[in-house]
Structure 1
Amino acid sequence: MIRVSSITEFVYCPAKMFLNQIQGNNIQTSKMIHGKLVHEIRRGYEEITKQNIWRIKENIELEDIFSTIFEEVPQFVEKVSKKYSAKYEINSSTLNGMCKDLEDDLKLESQFLSLKIKKILNTSSKRSGEIAEMFFPQSLLEFSLKNEELNLRGKIDKIEVINNIYYPVEVKTGMPPSKGVWLADALQIAAYAVLMGYELNKEVLVGFVDYIRICERRPVVVDSILHQKLFGILDDITTMFEKQEIPEFKLNKNKCEKCEYMDICEFYG
């Protein structure tokens, strides 16, 4: 079956997706490992922070709010770092640098979150549980979806449920465009929206991409135009594997030099 994550690879370069299907998970670059590390730590950070917000009392000082919600985060980051150090062949200084940068980002986010919580406490009668739900609504994390008819499957980062409305959310570690979202990211949201429609019997009209490098969430409207683009690409992918032929595409030096399959790609060099 076509993986939703493969749509991004196909848009980036059809040859990359083709080689990925052949090689499977044999190639693990530092970029791939970093992406997995970020996703795991982010998931844990959300759970820890949501639980800690419940501990916040009225009339608490700003610095105490921050220390409460961030208290367990450094230890959690260290724990995940040790796990990845044992699991992957990656330079310890590189791994420590990744974790240090991520911990600094989470610290800054926690400081901003503390300011927001303090303002809510000062201007409303909301209690800690209500505040936790405001920032971290009910969610399904890493939820698997598939449909035999579409020949499509994937594991979405998050499905947020607000007032019985389901929203697909994808977390991205790269930089976003100046406006909106990248086409590949929008197509992933559309793919998950379609799968959610089949499996959960929920119409999905809007999804979100969280660009965590700039701490910004951007919406994706799942309209007929995006649907048309999605199914066009799914048809192209199906044809590529049925014929075992890579469709014509333009080589891009900047993309090729960053690709993990550069050394084995017959099109490069």
Structure 2
Amino acid sequence: MISVSSISEFVYCPVKAFLNQTQKDNIQTREMIHGKLVREIRRGYEEITKQNMWSIKENIELEYIFSTIFEEVTPFIKKVSKKYSDKYEMDYSVLKDICNDLEDDLKLESQFLSLKVKKILNTTSKRGNEIAEMFFPQSLLEFPLKNEELNLRGKIDKIEVVNGVYYPVEVKTGMPPSKGVWLADALQIAAYVVLMDYELNKEVLVGFVDYIKICERRPVVVNSILHNKLFGVLDDMLTMFEKQEIPEFKLNKNKCEKCEYMDICEYYG
């Protein structure tokens, strides 16, 4: 079956999609491990922040709101960092730099979040648990979906449920375009919408991409144009996998040098 993550890879580079689909279980590049590390810390940060926010029971000073929200985040990052260091034998200095940068990012996000919480406390009678629900709606995390008829499967980062409406959310660690989302990211959202309709019987018109590097969420409207593009890409991918032949493509030095498969790609170099 085609993995939804391979759709994004195919748009980026057919070779990358081919390696992802056929050899992913046997490949653990440094970039792939870094991505897993960031995602795990991000998920844990959200859970910690949500729980800590519940303890805010009254209108308190901004500094105390921040210290409450950010409590336990640093020890958690160190714990996950050690786990990855032991499991993957990652270079300690590289790992330390990644985690330090990530901690700085999360600290800044917590400061922005504290300002929003303070504003809500000043203008409403909401308590911490109610505010937490505003920022962290009920969600299904890493939810598996598949459609045998389409030969399509995937594990979506998050499905948020707001007033009975389901919203697929993909988390991306790279930089977004100046406006909107990358086509590859939009196609992933469209693929999850198709799977959600099939498995959950939920009609979805809008999804979101969280570009965590700039702390911004961008919407994806899933219309007929995007659907047609998705099925065109799926047809091309099925042909590639069935024939075991990579379609013609042009090498792009800028893309290749950023690719996590650069060291094992027979086309590069």
TM-score by length of 1: 0.97
Kindly report which structure 2 residues correspond to 1:1-269, keeping only aligned pairs within 5 A, or say none: 1-269=1-269
Alignment-mate amino acid for residue 111 of structure 1: Q
In 2, Cα distance between equivalents of 1:202 and 1:86: 42
Contact 1:27–1:260 at 8 Å: present in 2 too? no
Superposed displacement of residue 118, structure 1? 0.6
Alignment-mate amino acid for residue 207 of structure 2: G
| Distance of aligned partners of 1:19 and 1:249 in 2 relative to their CA distance in 1, 3 Å threshold | same
Q: Secondary structure at the match of 1:171?
A: strand
Sequence identity percentage: 84
In 2, Cα distance between equivalents of 1:180 and 1:159: 20
In 1, Cα distance between equivalents of 2:110 and 2:263: 41
Contact 2:189–2:208 at 8 Å: present in 1 too? yes
Superposed displacement of residue 33, structure 1? 1.2
Superposed displacement of residue 91, structure 1? 0.4
In 1, Cα distance between equivalents of 2:37 and 2:262: 23
Superposed displacement of residue 23, structure 1? 2.4
Alignment-mate amino acid for residue 24 of structure 1: K
In 1, Cα distance between equivalents of 2:252 and 2:264: 16
TM-score by length of 2: 0.97
Superposed displacement of residue 61, structure 1? 1.1
In 2, Cα distance between equivalents of 1:50 and 1:262: 38
Contact 1:142–1:158 at 8 Å: present in 2 too? yes
- Deviation digits for residues 19-63 of structure 1, max 9, x if unmatched? 333323333222211111111011111111111111002121111
- Ranges in structure 1 where 5+ consecutive residues have no aligned partner: none
In 2, Cα distance between equivalents of 1:92 and 1:114: 32
| Distance of aligned partners of 1:41 and 1:264 in 2 relative to their CA distance in 1, 3 Å threshold | closer
Superposed displacement of residue 15, structure 1? 1.4
Q: Secondary structure at the match of 2:155?
A: strand
Q: Secondary structure at the match of 1:24?
A: helix
In 1, Cα distance between equivalents of 2:244 and 2:31: 28
Alignment-mate amino acid for residue 57 of structure 2: K
Contact 2:256–2:268 at 8 Å: present in 1 too? yes
In 2, Cα distance between equivalents of 1:247 and 1:170: 27
In 2, Cα distance between equivalents of 1:80 and 1:14: 33
Q: How many residues align?
A: 269
- Ranges in structure 2 where 5+ consecutive residues have no aligned partner: none
Superposed displacement of residue 264, structure 1? 4.1
In 2, Cα distance between equivalents of 1:141 and 1:117: 24
| Distance of aligned partners of 1:50 and 1:263 in 2 relative to their CA distance in 1, 3 Å threshold | closer
4+ aligned runs moved over 4 Å, structure 1? none
Contact 2:29–2:261 at 8 Å: present in 1 too? no
In 2, Cα distance between equivalents of 1:148 and 1:126: 46
For the aligned residue pairs, the C-alpha RMSD in angstroms reads 1.2
In 2, Cα distance between equivalents of 1:88 and 1:187: 32
Contact 2:2–2:21 at 8 Å: present in 1 too? no
Superposed displacement of residue 126, structure 1? 1.5
Contact 1:5–1:188 at 8 Å: present in 2 too? yes
Alignment-mate amino acid for residue 160 of structure 2: E
Moved more, 24-33 or 213-222: 24-33
- Deviation digits for residues 91-114 of structure 1, max 9, x if unmatched? 001001111111111111111111
Superposed displacement of residue 263, structure 1? 4.3
Superposed displacement of residue 130, structure 1? 1.2
In 2, Cα distance between equivalents of 1:81 and 1:155: 24
